[in-house]
Chains A and B, each alone.
Chain A
């Protein structure tokens, strides 16, 4: 099975999915989209990493902030959500942070209350920090193989510009209430925040409920995308099980990025327990295809395939990419994830351009993209 860790690619057809976008005076972007056939509402808060980019000295503090914030005001967020069949997921990526709250539709007010608590709670004491440092330390210790392969690929491709957002435990364990309060203030800069709500909702009314929470935040600076330096390729080893090939790519809307993604999906589809990992960004990124059971499988697939075989992959690649995109249109979680990640990085996103980019992939372009995984990729060899 392919694990596709794509976090955002979007195609919103406003003709059948009524959506409302609102930009607040402080720069925060709100997006509400009606998905009438769903029983579930997804309310997601996204904050770009611009303004709090990590260095060796701060690597992991955003991750710790995510853990602290996800507990809400008194640590009861999970229990309250679960009591109504809902839940919260929080994730930290290199270029953004996500808080995803999913609830049965009638419990939207609870989701709004939780998002308010996340945004408004800034003070954490030593005990709070110690507890979450412990949780993060276990998370790091039990990092799965996909994550390990990915981390190795990012380090090889981008060095210090590709630091693992999971973080450095030594840095994390030195966090203080003051440093975390200051960091959270930077993370919640409305100019770099987007809120997306989707499900069986009335978009304008729902935005009206969310607007007061975000309108009071003070903004600093101007909206911009994360910047990542030049990439390089190399052959590297990892202590993880499996293997990976990673191709550095440009911003998501740059020609070739989605073609490379489609090629990765084609290759990943041929491998048992394969995965494709790509976090869309308007900075430079990395598209990784791999698997976690053995080594040498991807090499075998690539060397055993001739142009005729790869031509058959093209259909499968375009189809898989399109299917994935389409599946995001009707699913509140997908819509929130797709829109949120893009909107917190750039206020205007031309979704149709992304869709067209997949539709218009040509055979020569596809072949070139597949070849990148052979010769222009970071090759990670695990145990």
Chain B
């Protein structure tokens, strides 16, 4: 169960300060995480450029060089960052006694990136461009963003556009109190940061799809449209649990065990820039006539949905509750490029920022599960049928 909420504070001047959440727990370290919402309608080019910016941010800032940054984060290695379609996540860990410097460090990483050094930015882009994700990540994030030469104007403009304080939420997890944290944050977020606006010319090319899997596998996903209303998100989350969780989940029971279409298979409530989609993803050995795989999977799942009983829902929700509370290593919500799971306390702390950002409702696994358990079986089945029927498919052949 996630720790009790101590502070969910919007500081006094919302145009200047980020939202701050403090989640107390025991331990010698403080985990500091930032959720930065990506504004809607960013182009593929801009999202690609954001990755270069973010990688540069966690390598060094204007105030902290790479070595100093590592030294201060001795509790958890270097600061980390991830870019999803709807958000950027940056996180670092410092010793409890270094809370003050940790706040300063996060503020610097977020607000004072070193954008005046083409060489370091170029290195960041180069290091990103040479990376190959594992096949499951290719399946979940089918777009590939080329990293083109450093364009200072664009990067600075993007920083100005995205890192506005109202777009930033911070979460502090550790043996700390809100009273201690909030003044430190207030001292670091200064208004003058968001003055000048930059203009830029776009120079980045469009995102590309992967040409082949990084494994001897064929990758398939079924992707619904986006759900944005709370009731639809509840239904999609419920469906995600029944389809995806455990060996009793439909994708394991049907796609793997009954019809032998897959070896690895999962279903997620997956974020896009507007809301969440329902995605069933699976990997299988390359085979003849595999172009029919998505339709076979769709039909098999639709047939299975018809047979769902209250017992199926009860099983899925029991496991879903364990998952949301961090006691099961599979998560029905995909919030990281590899899917993610909530077993580590830092991940649950991040969810306390992310879930409100996406849904406008509090991250409270008990409350969420109460809502899901109140959903009638027929309604979940109808939703699941419609969602699977309307899904579009994506496939990357391993042949």
Report which A residues bind B (CB closer than 8 A): 1-2, 39-40, 78-79, 82-87, 102, 104, 138-139, 141-142, 144-145, 241, 268-270, 272-273, 292-294, 297, 309, 312, 315-316, 319-320, 323, 326, 383
Contact = CB atoms under 8 A, between A and B. Distances in A.
Interface in B185-227: 214-217
Residue among B77, B130, B264, B325 having the largest count of chain A Cβ atoms under 10 Å: B77
Given A79-B315, A142-B217, A312-B74, A323 B29 contact: yes
A293 B133 contact: yes
A267 to B, nearest CB: 10
Contacts of B315: 79, 82-83
A241 B70 CA distance: 26
Contacts of B321: 85
A138 B285 contact: yes
Contact of A39 (B1, B131, B285, B314): B1
Given A138-B263, A142-B264, A294-B131, A241 B214 contact: yes
Contacts of B248: 78-79, 82-83
Given A39-B1, A86-B322, A138-B263, A320 B71 contact: no
A160 B268 CA distance: 41
Contacts of A86: 322
Given A270-B77, A312-B70, A320-B76, A87 B131 contact: no
Interface in B300-325: 311, 314-315, 318-319, 321-322, 325
A105 to B, nearest CB: 10
Given A79-B248, A82-B248, A272 B285 contact: no
Contacts of A268: 77
B382 interface: no
Interface residues of B, number: 43
Contact of B134 (A39, A292, A309, A312): A292
A83 B217 CA distance: 32
Interface of B: 1, 27-29, 67, 70-71, 73-78, 80, 95, 127, 130-134, 214-217, 245-248, 263-264, 283, 285, 311, 314-315, 318-319, 321-322, 325, 327-328
A273 B143 CA distance: 19
A2 B78 CA distance: 11
Nearest to A85: B318
A82 B77 contact: no
Nearest to B328: A87
B327 A293 contact: no
B246 A78 contact: yes
Minimum-distance CB pairs A-B, first 10: A269-B77, A85-B318, A293-B131, A138-B263, A78-B247, A316-B74, A82-B246, A85-B322, A83-B315, A315-B74
B132 A83 contact: no
A83 B311 CA distance: 8
Given A39-B327, A82-B246, A138-B285, A323 B28 contact: yes
Given A83-B318, A85-B319, A145-B215, 7 more contacts: A39-B325, A40-B322, A138-B263, A142-B215, A142-B264, A269-B78, A316-B75
